[in-house]
Amino acid sequence: MSVRRLAIFLLGLCLLCVNFMPEEQQAMNSLVIEADAGKHTINKNIYGHFSEHLGRCIYEGYWVGEDSSIPNVRGIRQDVVEALRKIEIPVLRWPGGCFADDYHWMDGIGPRGDRPTLINTHWGGVTENNHFGTHEFLDLCEQLGCEPYVCGNVGSGSVKEMRDWVEYITFDGTSPMADLRRGNGRNEPWKLKYFGVGNENWGCGGNMRPEFYADVYRRFQTYVRNFSGNRIYKIACGSYGENYEWTEVLMREAASQMHGLSYHYYTVPGGWGNKNSATEFDESDWFETMRLGLKIDDYIAEHSTIMDRYDPEKRVGMIVDEWGAWYLVEPETNPGFLYQQSTLRDALMAGLNLNIFNSHCERVQMANLAQTINVLQSLILTKDENIVLTPTYHVFDMYKVHQDAIMLPVRIQCRDYVFEEEKIPCLNVSASRDDEGKIHVSLCNFDPNKAVKVTCELRGFPPPNLKGHVLTADRINSFNTFKNPNEVKPRKFDAFSLKGSTVTINLPAKSVVVVEISK
């Protein structure tokens, strides 16, 4: 037999053997973690949140009033505060969103009975009584132990209005605004680190062109001043989805006058005109949600490339201050309130997004999930005196170990999760090393039908001690209710083995797993 014929015969034999191998052997699932490397910090603010005057997020969510039978401190319900403190919430964005573009802050100060009411034209056309305003929000942030992120009104507001708000909050001298604050019961100024100069000014914030907004931003930000030692991190309104032109123009015209540039991306299976149910869905909807969710990785990379051209030192942070899954509202609820359940699908969505943000931490400096309570992909649902922690909440609790840790480089090879004619990688992962030297690996298995065995090589780190937690459920649309609040809840995970510097991890189908590795 000639050498050529022998080579063809051996190649055919190899292909025949591969065809009869189990799928798990045909596609090795391997992960390499450079445990002794890593130089970029995962900013804790990537685990931030967003709360708008929308539906029952503020009222019934945070605010119940001082006369409520629900336990509260100065009108702010304590069960919510305790739950958010547990996940170490680092930053909270307020008052919107689109609501910010119609919000005039002086309506929300002074005696509550004297505050004017308005119509919430963006969300449900309901009456807003302004009982939750500047003092209440900053009190909430103090109770939570988090940084406030205030979004200013560029859409219908004025430069003077924005300037006066910053002075009211932060100036400790004698001035009309500081004196007004003292007259309303707050002698000492607050510290305010993050201030957004407008919101979605390409849409609900004024339908502006990028060139026009760039000039508006330059003007408004001039008057967002640093008073009394307070240093403000100014965030310009950025882009959404694939709108790369907006990023290009803003970076070209105004990068030198901003500290951060926002970015918005919602995962909307079915599209904006044909959103699917939050709870009644099949595997095709599951697959589409994961596929769309993963797109943010490429979007961030493309917008970052544009930012790099104007800011190679990465001084300007990308602020993903609205992200999450958006479905149909729950039946028999106000469509303007955007109230939806959070299922196991959303736990995977939260995990994949946070993994992606971690991997881009050199540029991404903050991310704010939309929204914290009773709206969209919320962490908490409330009903009278009861609260429910959603699967999304539990992912944030599991992932809090990444906050302010060093992001570790990872290389992953995995089989595909195939559905009909499409496919995506079945795994998504990030890893970090905290200041105690512990390594945490967060993994998502998107495949709802098959477990995945992953061989994880830790380079430069002996891994004698392992422990972990897993979040999964029997059904892809499992969720927690007020009658059954623990349907989807983390549990101890020990489906791993250790040999030398290699850890083999057995991920259940449709699961989020966090493994801690320590010496």
- Per-residue model confidence as pLDDT tens digits over 86-98: 999 999 999 999 9
pLDDT in tens, 106-148: 999 999 999 999 999 899 889 999 999 999 999 999 999 999 9
35 to 135, 432, 437: CA distances (angstroms): 45, 8, 10
Q: Which of 331, 240, 227, 204 is nearest to 279 (CA)?
A: 331
- pLDDT given for residue 117 in this prediction: 95
pLDDT of residue 15: 41
Location of structure tokens 């009278």: 384
More confident residue, 15 or 393: 393
Is residue 357 a contact partner of residue 364, using CB atoms and an 8 Å limit?
Answer: yes
DSSP state, residue 330: P
Is residue 297 exposed (0-12), middle (13-18) or buried (19+ Cβ within 10 Å)? middle
Task: With a cut of 50, say whether residue 23 has pLDDT above it.
Answer: no
Instruction: Determine the pLDDT at residue 519.
Output: 84
Helix and strand element counts for the chain (H, E): 11, 28
Residues annotated as part of the active site: 200, 322
Q: Is residue 6 very low, low, confident or very high in pLDDT (cuts 50, 70, 90)? A: very low
What distances in angstroms separate CA 394 from CA 146, 147, 342, one per listed residue?
19, 22, 11
Q: Which range is least confidently modeled, 8-17, 208-217, 295-304?
A: 8-17
Which value, to the nearest 10 degrees, does the dihedral of the CA atoms of residues 403, 404, 408, 411 take?
Answer: 40
| pLDDT at residue 16 greater than cutoff 90 | no
User: Residue 501 — very low, low, confident or very high, per pLDDT cuts 50/70/90?
Assistant: confident
- Cα(455)–Cα(457) distance, rounded to whole angstroms? 7
Q: What is the tens place of the pLDDT at every residue in 150-161?
A: 999 999 999 999
For range 500-511, the mean pLDDT: 93
What's 355's DSSP letter?
H
Return the percentage of the chain with pLDDT > 90, whole number: 90
pLDDT, position 437:
93
Mean pLDDT of 274-289: 96
Q: How far apart are CA 18 and CA 35, in angstroms?
A: 33
CA distance 354 to 346: 12
460 has a pLDDT exceeding 70 = yes
> Whose CA is closest to 438, among 475, 481, 467?
467
d(CA 306, CA 391) in angstroms, rounded, equals: 35
Question: Where in 153-276 does DSSP place strands (E)?
Answer: 194-197, 233-240, 260-267
**H or E segment to which residue 16 belongs:** helix 3-19
Which residues make Cβ contacts (< 8 Å) with residue 271, sequence separation at least 6? Answer: none
Do the strands 386-389 and 380-383 form a parallel or antiparallel pair, or are they unpaired? antiparallel
Q: What is the mean pLDDT of the chain?
A: 94
Measured between alpha carbons, how far is 76 from 11 in angstroms, rounded to an integer? 70
Confidence category of residue 11, pLDDT binned at 50, 70, 90 = very low
With the CA atoms of 47, 406, 429 and 43 taken in that order, what torsion angle do they form, in degrees rounded to the nearest 10? Answer: 20
Rounded to an integer, the average pLDDT of 17-40 is 68
* pLDDT (mean) for 57-66: 97
**pLDDT value of position 461:** 83
Please write the tens of the pLDDT for every residue from 369-428: 999 999 999 999 999 999 999 999 999 999 999 999 999 999 999 999 999 999 999 999
Three-state DSSP at 46 gives helix
Closest by CA to 45, choosing from 366, 430, 371, is 366
Q: Which residue has the tokens 């599991």?
A: 398
Tens-digit pLDDT profile for residues 191-230: 999 999 999 999 999 999 999 999 999 999 999 999 999 9
How large is the average pLDDT for residues 264-273? 95
Cis peptide, bond prior to residue 403, ω within 30 of zero: no
Reply yes or no on whether the pLDDT at 4 is more than 70.
no
Distance CA 358, CA 174 (A): 43
Residue 9 has pLDDT above 70, yes or no: no
Whether 22 shows a pLDDT value over 50: the answer reads no
Helix (H) or strand (E) holding 170: helix 159-170
Average pLDDT over residues 310-331: 97
Instruction: Please state, in angstroms and rounded to a whole number, the distance separating the CA atoms of residues 74 and 76.
Output: 6
pLDDT for the residue 10: 41
pLDDT at 361 over 50: yes
Cis omega (within 30 of 0) for bond into 61: no
Contacts of 87 (CB under 8 A, 6+ apart): 47, 379, 393, 396, 397, 400
User: Mean pLDDT throughout 277-304?
Assistant: 98
Mean pLDDT of 277-291: 97
